[in-house]
Chains A and B, each alone.
Chain A
Amino acid sequence: AAGVIQSPRHLIKEKRETATLKCYPIPRHDTVYWYQQGPGQDPQFLISFYEKMQSDKGSIPDRFSAQQFSDYHSELNMSSLELGDSALYFCASSNSYEQYFGPGTRLTVT
């Protein structure tokens, strides 16, 4: 069965650079969620989209923005990167109760 696809899987950036993470949901899933998991921490909700509209917002910094496109894929844009942004970023998709998670993108900021 098709799963959630995230790209890239690994990304290394320097401080103050920008990064774009991509998420391709499971076909026919209309909702996308983004989570950030810092080292040794539990995943924290950032933002979600339903039918291309933002549906909820969590602890997403103002330096980050995201959107969902007409084909339902989503992109998380991160600017002015800081060392503390180093984390595993998960995307999840859903069309009902259950969220299905992608493998994550590991972002390292040096």
Chain B
Amino acid sequence: KQEVTQIPAALSVPEGENLVLNCSFTDSAIYNLQWFRQDPGKGLTSLLLIQSSQREQTSGRLNASLDKSSGRSTLYIAASQPGDSATYLCAVSGANNLFFGTGTRLTVIP
């Protein structure tokens, strides 16, 4: 069964810093990888999707990379803002469902 791990579990940074969130998965036979943002008690907002044939995707201050062979993905957030505070989840796609990581809880301190 696919296992997805995210490191660190929690991260606090001062506003303006650049940061990297890490995601690793055990089975490299994936269709794609998605990064989500979740605010407390709220739904999942898709941030970026990387297909298995791609190596990275960018959206605004966010950049996600994928190294399928090593089972790793990173989410880079540039110039962090207090509004970025949330839990970030990565999820890898099997044939018919998503396997979610444990999440990284990010706090950006003003």
| Interface positions of A (Cβ within 8 A of B) | 33, 35, 42-45, 48, 50, 55-56, 58, 88, 90, 92, 97-104, 106
Contacts and interface: CB of A to CB of B under 8 A. Distances in A.
B44 A43 contact: yes
Contacts, number: 56
Interface in B1-53: 31-32, 34, 36, 41-46, 49, 51
Contacts of A50: 96
Interface of B: 31-32, 34, 36, 41-46, 49, 51, 89, 91, 93-103
A42 B98 contact: no
Contacts of A102: 43
Contact of A98 (B43, B46, B96, B101): B46
B98 A99 contact: yes
A1 to B, nearest CB: 13
Contacts of A33: 96-98
A45 B99 contact: yes
A102 B46 CA distance: 11
A90 B103 CA distance: 17
A105 to B, nearest CB: 10
Contact of B96 (A55, A104, A106): A55
B102 A42 contact: yes
Most buried by B among A35, A43, A50, A88: A43
